[in-house]
Structure 1
Amino acid sequence: MGKNVYSKEIKWAVVQDKLSGKRTNQEIMEKYGIKNVSQIKTWMKWYKTGEMYRF
């Protein structure tokens, strides 16, 4: 099993979807092909703590 690498565009799109509140984590995972909900939580943590350089 290899690591999944997501583009910065996907990461930003996921953050925007989460902030809008219009989609659940499950819907976001299906839309963008994300395999684990912890990935979404990590990106949201980066956003909230101002670690945008990680994107």
Structure 2
Amino acid sequence: MSKNKNTFYTEDIKLKAIEMKAEGIPVKVIKEKLGIKSDSQVYTWWYWFRDGELNRLKQPIGKQYSFGHGPKLTTDDKLSQLEAQNKILKKYISLKGGLIKK
């Protein structure tokens, strides 16, 4: 009985998990709805989003790119990332009742 350790999640699944977390949905529910194995995976994606590292959502299993050494992004890729980030941020801000104070 061989159990596959590595599960690949599409960028869409990762973005959906981030969006759900921004809406305040508990990680346990996110995992169940999206079929994600571990809490830490959801938190990792959330931290990447929070830190503005959405480019990391495209990296393949086992690849950990350091700054500036990741895959080259096209203008369309950058635009899609910014649109996704903007959508999630707008939802997050609306749920928090306005702008976040520093």
Q: Answer yes or no: is 1:32 the counterpart of 2:11.
A: no
- SS of equivalent residue, structure 2 residue 48: helix
In the alignment, structure 2 segments of 5+ residues that lack a partner are: 58-102
The TM-score with structure 2 as length reference comes to 0.51
Question: Which residues of structure 1 form unaligned runs of 5+?
Answer: none
- Return the structure number with greater relative CO, CA threshold 8 A, min gap 6: 1
Give the share of equivalent positions with the same residue, in percent.
Answer: 35
Question: What TM-score do the two structures reach when normalised by structure 1?
Answer: 0.92
Structure label with greater radius of gyration = 2
1:12 equivalenced with 2:15 (yes/no): yes
Q: Please give the alpha-carbon distance, in whole angstroms, between the structure 1 residues aligned to 2:26 and 2:5.
A: 26
Q: How many residues align?
A: 54
CA–CA distance in 2 between the matches of 1:11 and 1:30? Answer: 14
**Aligned with 1:34: secondary structure?**
coil
* Backbone CA RMSD of aligned residues: 0.8
Amino acid across the alignment from 2:44: T
> How far has the Cα of 1:2 moved from its partner?
3.1
2:5 aligns with: 2
